[in-house]
Amino acid sequence: MVHHEPFPGRRAALVFVLLLAVIVGAVTAGMLWTAGARADRALAVHRHEVTATTTGPAKEPQIATRFGGEAQAVAPAVWDYPAHVQRSGSVVVPPGSARGHTLAIWVDDSGTQARPPGDAANRALVAFSGGTATGVAVGAMGAGLLIFVRRTVDAHGLAAWEREWEQVEPVWSGRLRRGSGSGGGGGGGPGPEDDG
CA-based radius of gyration for the chain: 39
Q: 168: pLDDT confidence band, cut at 50, 70 and 90?
A: confident
| Tens-place pLDDT, residues 56-93 | 888 876 555 544 566 678 999 999 998 888 999 999 88
- pLDDT above 50 for 186: no
| Tens-place pLDDT, residues 106-162 | 999 999 999 888 888 889 999 999 999 999 999 999 988 888 888 887 788 787 888
State the DSSP string of 7-73: STTHHHHHHHHHHHHHHHHHHHHHHHHHHHHHHHHHHHTT-EEEEEEESSPPBPPSSPPGGG----E
Whose CA is closest to 147, among 5, 4, 3, 17? 17
* Strands 73-80 and 86-93, sheet pairing: antiparallel
Contact 50, 105 (CB under 8 A): yes
Question: What's the rounded Cα separation, in Å, for the pair 171 and 177?
Answer: 9
Contact 10, 172 (CB under 8 A): no
Question: What's the rounded Cα separation, in Å, for the pair 92 and 73?
Answer: 6
Please tell me the predicted confidence (pLDDT) of residue 87: 93
Please give the model's pTM, rounded to 2 decimal places.
Answer: 0.55
CB neighbours of 111 closer than 8 A, spacing ≥ 6? Answer: 79, 80, 81, 82, 85, 87
Q: One-letter amino acid identity for 11? A: R
Neighbours of 118 (CB within 10 A): 17
